[in-house]
C-alpha cells in the first residue's frame, strides 16, 4: 500500500476558501485549523472546562461494554477519567456495514489526529465517534451499493419501518437481515477471506438487537486496536447527562437562534450557498411525542409548540421535562454540535464538507452558550485503487486525478472516435453540410412556386438528415459491439473511481475491499499518517 495526494475539483466554494484560509470565511470559526500551534492553544483553553468525567465515563463504559468493546476502548475510557484527558470527536449515522466509505474515512481521521496530538501535546487524547442514533430516516441507512461489473447496484434490507422511530430503537428483523446479508455475499468473488468474513458479520448480526448495535460491533471489529470510544446520542443514560444542558439550551434559545440567523445571513451575503434554513423562532430541539419526533418552535406567546401545534409547553413545563424526562428531548442539526461540546472536552471536531458548511454559522451559538467552537478539521478523503484498475489506468493512459474528479465518459467517447479513421461523426456532419448546401437551390425554387411545395422540400431535407443520422447510429452501434470489451473497461474505471458522477467514498461500501484484502487494509491505512491540509488521497492497494 502507498498513498498519494491529489486535488479535488469541488464546487463547494466555502470548503475551498476554508482550506486556503480566506478571511471571509475564517472569521466564522474560533480557530485556524491549519495553524501550527492550534491544538496547543485549544488545550490551554480547555484547562478550566468543567466536564462531568466520572459520570460520563461510567455511561461510556456501560454502553461500550454492551457492544463487546475491545480492551483498547475500555482502557481509553479509564484514561478519560483523568483530569487532563482530551478527545477528538466526529460522528455519523449508523449505516449498514458502516454505510459508505466516508464513515470509515472519518473514523480513520479521528484516530490519526488523536494519536498525533497525544504525542505532540504529551497529553492523553482519545478518539470518540458520536453515533447519531436519534436520527429517524431508516431509508437513508437501509442499503448499501455493490459493484456489478460496470455499474453499481443497490441492495436494500427489506424491513418495513412505518413509524419514524429513532434508528437506535429499531429492532432488527433477523430473518430479513440475514437474507440481505446472504444476498450481498452472492455478489462477492470468493477469496481466502470470504467464509470467515461472512461468519463474522453473521455473528455480529445475531448478537445485535438494533442497527446501532450492529454498526457498533462492526466498527469495533474493524478498529479493535485503536481504542475508539463510541457514543449513541439516543442512549437514555446519555440523555440523563444532557439534562442540565437541555435546560441551558432552553433558556438560551433566543440568543442561540439569533446568533445562528445573523451568521447565516452574513455567510450567504458573502456569496456562500448553504443548505440551512433558520428562523428566529426555531427552538432547535425535538420533543418525542409517542412514536413521533416533533421539532419545536416558539410561538408569539413564547410557548414552545410543534410546527403543526401538536404539542404546547410553557418554558417552565419544558424545563421540567428537561430536568425529569430528558429522554423525551433531542437536538437538531444546529444544537447537536453544542451538546457534543457541553459533554466532552473536544480538542478538535472532525467533519465532512457538509458539516463544515453548517458549522460556519455556529460560532455565535457556541459563544451564546459560553463556549468556544473547537477547531474544525476536514476529515481525510480517500479513493482506493485496486491493481486491476491500476492496470486499466496504464493501458488507456488516463489520468487518475482526472478520472476521480470527472470520470472517463468523455475520454471513452474520444477513444472510440480514434478507432475510426476518420471518425463517423465527422463524416456524417460533413455529409449533412454538403447535402444542406446542395439542397438549398431546390428548396428555394419550391418555396418560390408555392408555400405548401416549400414545406414539402423542407420535409424532404429532414428525411435526408434523419437517414444520415440513422446510418451514423448504426455504424456507431456496430463499432461499440466490436469494441465492447474495451468500452466495458472504461465503464469499470468509471464505476471504480467516479461512480454515479461522484467520489468513490460516497457510494462504495468497505465490504468488497475487506473481502479482497481483509480488514488489515484499514489497519494499515490508520498507520499511514496523512496531512489534513490535503484535499484527497489515492490509496494504492
Could you report the per-residue pLDDT of 246-285, keeping only the tens digit for each?
999 999 999 999 999 999 999 999 999 998 889 989 999 9
Q: What is the pLDDT of residue 11?
A: 77
Question: Is omega for the bond preceding 359 within 30 degrees of 0, making it cis?
Answer: no
Q: What is the pLDDT of residue 419?
A: 87
Q: What is the pLDDT of residue 452?
A: 94
Per-residue pLDDT band at 308 (split at 50, 70, 90): confident
Which residues lie across from 527 on neighbouring strands? none
User: What distance in Å separates the CA atoms of residue 480 and residue 458, rounded to the nearest whole number?
Assistant: 33
Residue with cell 455511561: 59
Percentage of the chain lying above the pLDDT 70 cut: 100
CA dihedral 115, 121, 124, 130 (to 10 degrees): -60
The percent of the chain in helix, strand and coil, each rounded to the nearest 5, is: 55, 15, 30
Q: Within the chain, how many helices (H) and strands (E) appear?
A: 23, 15
Q: Where in the chain are the domains?
A: 7-137+225-240+337-383, 241-331, 384-419+485-502, 422-482
pLDDT tens digits, 455-512: 999 999 999 999 999 999 998 899 889 999 999 999 999 999 999 999 999 999 999 9
pLDDT tens digits, 351-379: 999 999 999 999 999 999 999 999 999 99
Q: What is the pLDDT of residue 438?
A: 95
Helices (H), 270-350: 315-324, 336-343
Mean of pLDDT values over 323-344: 96
Q: What is the pLDDT of residue 129?
A: 98
> Quick check: 335 pLDDT over 90?
yes
The C-alpha R_g of the chain, in whole angstroms, comes to: 28
CA angle 432–433–437, rounded 5-degree value: 115
- For residue 487, the tally of other CB atoms under 10 A from its CB is 18
Q: What is the pTM of this model?
A: 0.92
Q: What is the pLDDT of residue 331?
A: 95
Contact 55, 79 (CB under 8 A): no
pLDDT tens digits, 164-195: 788 999 999 999 999 999 999 999 999 999 99
> Quick check: 163 pLDDT over 80?
no
Per-residue pLDDT band at 156 (split at 50, 70, 90): very high
pLDDT tens digits, 186-225: 999 999 999 999 999 999 999 999 999 999 999 999 999 9
Mean pLDDT of the chain: 95
The set of residues, in sequence order, having a beta carbon less than 8 Å from that of 47 and lying 6+ positions away, is: none
Mean of pLDDT values over 233-237: 95
Contact 103, 507 (CB under 8 A): no
> Quick check: 417 pLDDT over 90?
no
Q: Are strands 304-306 and 312-313 parallel, antiparallel or unpaired?
A: antiparallel
> Quick check: 5 pLDDT over 80?
yes
Tallying the residues shown for the chain, one arrives at 541
> Quick check: 72 pLDDT over 90?
yes
Three-class secondary structure of residue 184 per DSSP: helix
> Quick check: 519 pLDDT over 80?
yes
Q: What is the pLDDT of residue 297?
A: 95
User: What distance in Å separates the CA atoms of residue 217 and residue 205, rounded to the nearest whole number?
Assistant: 9
Q: What is the pLDDT of residue 479?
A: 87
Per-residue pLDDT band at 407 (split at 50, 70, 90): very high
Query: What is the distance, to the nearest Å, from the Cα of residue 71 to the centroid of all Cα atoms in its chain?
Result: 29
Per-residue pLDDT band at 48 (split at 50, 70, 90): confident
DSSP class of 90: E
The set of residues, in sequence order, having a beta carbon less than 8 Å from that of 32 and lying 6+ positions away, is: 21, 26, 38, 375
Contact 225, 525 (CB under 8 A): no
CA angle 186–189–195, rounded 5-degree value: 75
pLDDT tens digits, 467-480: 999 999 998 899 88
User: What distance in Å separates the CA atoms of residue 110 and residue 104, rounded to the nearest whole number?
Assistant: 10
Amino acid at each position: 500500500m502507498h498513498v498519494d495526494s491529489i486535488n479535488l475539483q469541488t464546487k463547494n466554494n466555502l470548503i475551498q476558501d476554508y482550506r486556503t484560509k480566506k478571511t471571509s470565511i475564517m472569521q466564522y470559526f474560533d480557530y485556524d485549523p491549519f495553524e501550527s500551534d492550534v491544538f496547543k492553544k485549544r488545550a490551554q483553553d480547555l484547562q478550566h472546562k468543567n466536564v462531568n468525567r466520572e459520570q460520563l465515563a461510567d455511561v461510556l463504559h456501560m454502553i461500550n461494554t454492551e457492544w463487546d468493546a475491545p480492551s483498547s476502548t475500555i482502557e481509553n475510557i479509564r484514561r478519560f477519567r483523568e483530569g487532563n484527558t482530551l478527545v477528538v470527536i466526529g460522528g455519523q449515522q449508523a449505516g449498514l456495514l458502516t454505510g459508505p466509505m466516508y464513515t470509515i474515512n472519518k473514523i480513520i481521521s479521528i484516530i490519526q489526529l488523536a494519536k498525533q496530538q497525544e504525542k505532540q501535546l504529551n497529553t492523553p487524547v482519545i478518539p470518540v465517534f458520536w453515533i447519531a442514533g436519534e436520527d429517524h430516516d431508516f431509508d437513508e441507512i437501509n442499503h448499501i451499493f455493490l459493484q456489478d461489473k460496470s455499474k453499481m447496484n443497490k441492495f436494500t434490507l427489506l424491513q418495513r419501518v412505518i413509524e419514524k422511530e429513532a434508528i437506535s430503537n429499531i429492532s432488527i428483523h433477523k430473518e430479513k437481515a440475514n437474507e440481505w446479508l446472504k444476498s450481498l455475499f452472492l455478489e462477492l468473488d470468493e477469496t481466502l477471506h470470504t467464509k470467515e468474513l461472512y461468519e463474522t458479520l453473521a455473528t455480529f448480526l445475531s448478537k445485535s438487537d438494533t442497527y446501532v448495535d450492529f454498526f457498533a460491533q462492526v466498527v469495533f471489529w474493524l478498529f479493535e486496536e485503536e481504542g475508539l470510544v463510541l457514543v449513541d446520542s439516543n442512549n437514555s443514560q446519555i440523555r440523563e447527562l444532557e439534562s442540565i444542558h437541555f435546560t441551558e439550551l432552553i433558556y438560551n434559545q433566543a440568543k442561540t437562534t439569533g446568533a445562528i440567523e445573523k451568521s447565516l445571513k452574513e455567510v450567504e451575503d458573502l456569496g456562500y450557498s448553504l443548505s440551512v434554513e433558520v428562523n428566529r423562532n426555531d427552538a432547535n430541539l425535538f420533543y418525542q411525542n409517542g412514536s413521533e419526533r416533533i421539532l419545536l418552535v416558539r410561538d408569539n406567546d413564547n410557548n414552545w409548540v410543534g410546527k403543526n401545534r401538536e404539542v404546547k409547553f410553557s418554558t417552565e413545563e419544558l424545563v421540567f421535562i428537561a430536568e425529569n424526562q430528558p429522554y423525551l428531548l433531542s437536538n437538531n442539526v444546529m444544537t447537536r454540535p453544542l451538546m457534543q461540546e457541553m459533554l466532552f472536552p473536544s480538542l478538535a471536531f472532525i467533519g465532512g464538507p457538509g458539516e463544515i458548511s453548517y458549522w460556519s454559522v455556529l460560532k455565535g451559538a457556541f459563544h451564546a452558550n459560553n463556549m468556544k467552537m473547537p477547531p474544525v478539521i476536514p476529515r481525510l478523503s480517500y479513493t482506493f485503487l485496486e491493481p486491476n484498475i491500476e492496470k486499466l489506468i496504464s493501458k488507456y493512459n488516463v489520468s487518475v486525478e482526472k478520472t476521480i474528479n470527472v470520470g472517463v465518459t468523455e475520454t471513452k467517447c474520444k477513444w472510440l472516435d480514434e478507432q475510426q479513421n476518420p471518425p463517423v461523426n465527422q463524416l456524417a456532419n460533413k455529409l449533412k453540410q454538403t447535402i444542406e448546401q446542395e439542397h438549398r437551390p431546390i428548396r428555394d425554387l419550391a418555396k418560390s412556386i408555392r408555400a405548401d411545395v416549400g414545406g414539402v422540400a423542407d420535409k424532404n431535407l429532414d428525411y435526408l438528415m434523419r437517414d444520415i443520422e440513422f446510418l451514423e447510429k448504426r455504424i456507431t452501434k456496430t463499432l461499440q459491439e466490436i469494441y465492447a470489451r474495451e468500452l466495458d473497461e472504461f465503464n469499470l474505471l468509471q464505476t471504480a473511481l467516479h461512480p454515479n458522477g461522484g467520489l468513490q467514498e460516497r457510494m462504495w461500501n468497505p465490504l468488497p475491499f475487506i473481502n479482497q484484502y481483509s480488514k488489515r487494509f484499514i489497519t494499515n491505512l490508520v498507520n499511514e499518517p496523512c496531512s489534513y491540509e490535503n484535499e484527497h488521497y489515492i490509496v494504492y492497494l
